[in-house]
Amino acid sequence: MKQQIYLDYAATTPVYPEIIEKMAQSLSFTGTFGNPASNGHPFGQQARQKVEQARSDVASLIGATADEIIWTSGATESNNLALKGVTERYASRGKHIITSQIEHKAILDSCAKLESLGFEVTYLKPNAETGIITPDAVKDAIRPDTLLISLMMVNNEIGTITDIKSIGETAKQQDIFFHVDAAQAAGKLHIDVHALNIDLLSLSAHKVYGPKGIGALYVNHQKTFEIEPQIHGGGHEQGCRSGTLATHQIVGMGEAFKIAKLSLDTEQERLKLLQQKLFDGLKAMTSIVLNGDLEQRVANYLNVSFTEDNPFVLINAVKTFAAVSSGSACNSGKAGASHVLLAIDRTETHAKNAIRFSFGKYTTEKNIDDLLEHLKHVQDTTQIVTFI
């Protein structure tokens, strides 16, 4: 069987070969294999230098300082640490949280847990079809006891962009903690955490051509506050997250973020052309609707619902030819329609007949041409068989 075209970069990205090489150098006896916490000898000191360089590279991509980066196992842990760390420490200030109906499950499930502990959560409904969470909707939801606002910068299923700047200004004026899940935004949008008034920001390496199993949480040091640790044992990472640091994974994340900074604008321009080409090609071939906003979105994702009476021939043809997703990877093991698409008022049928295409570094124009040609061939063959 011919290998599928990979169009599921939102789920994960391959690690660049040069990054793999640098990671491997932190594993062997002739490399920097030492424990970064072992400061009493060169093996540990050299590993620590690698960790701190990576910390600086990650911070540089988001406009932070190195001491504001806390290593975690990924964005899921970062989200948990941010929400639970703030609410546990500052519950006396208020027990109301604002988030949205279209957040990642790491946020929604954390909020559900906090609700079981006595917190109240407002789940903002996005605008129909576009999935936009407006600053006004956030303002209207604020209460005297609102402690935390948590919203993603780029939606992981439909690619819409949230106006983080306006919401951050509101949060600062109201003295409300502001957390942003930027797992799908890093390397795609320019981020300046201080200019955006973000207090906590979650990051993941494997969405930016780094390794799986490593992420980071930015914690704003221009604002005096502390987060309650969720993992105890040794007081690593400024007391926020205990555990021996995985030097090789951290090195990989640092290199990935350094590379992302160099090619952000040019890559968005290139992918925008591919996104439009596929969208136009599908529209010319069959009946589809776009899930998400036409303009306020990143170029990496295209989420469409196939709306003809019998869409399964083309949907199956897509899934046979290309690696795509019917939702987010975090929900791939669960049956049912996407909670994101249902929240933007898609019918359950249209939500189940949706495909998320996501593009990346190795996606070419030929990939898109080949996919469209394959779909046209399947469509023509089906029509001939039906006619006969």
- Short-list 51, 71, 48, CA closest to 229: 71
Encoded amino acid at 85, one letter: G
Contacts of 105 (CB under 8 A, 6+ apart): 328, 330, 331
Residues 6+ apart with CB under 8 A from 274: 299, 359, 363, 365, 367, 368
With a CB cutoff of 8 Å and minimum separation 6, the contacts of 226 are: 89
C-alpha of 318 from chain center:
24
The answer to whether the beta carbons of residues 360 and 13 sit under 8 Å apart is: yes
CA distance 350 to 195: 39
CB-CB contact of 277 with 168 (8 Å): no
> What amino acid positions are annotated as catalytic residues?
330
The candidate with the shortest Cα–Cα distance to 103, out of 68, 147, 148, 170, is 148
Is beta strand 200-204 parallel, antiparallel or unpaired with respect to 177-181?
parallel
Helix-then-strand count for the chain, H and E: 11, 12
Closest C-alpha among 98, 109, 84 to residue 133:
98
- What's the burial of 325, exposed, middle or buried (CB within 10 Å: 0-12/13-18/19+)? buried
Query: How does DSSP classify residue 310?
Result: S
Q: Which pairing describes strands 5-6 and 322-323: parallel, antiparallel, or unpaired?
A: parallel
Query: How far apart are the C-alpha atoms of 348 and 315, rounded to whole Å?
Result: 16
> In a 3-state reduction of DSSP, which class is residue 248?
helix
Cβ pair 148, 181 in contact under 8 A: no
User: What's the CA dihedral at 152, 158, 159, 163 to 10 degrees?
Assistant: -50
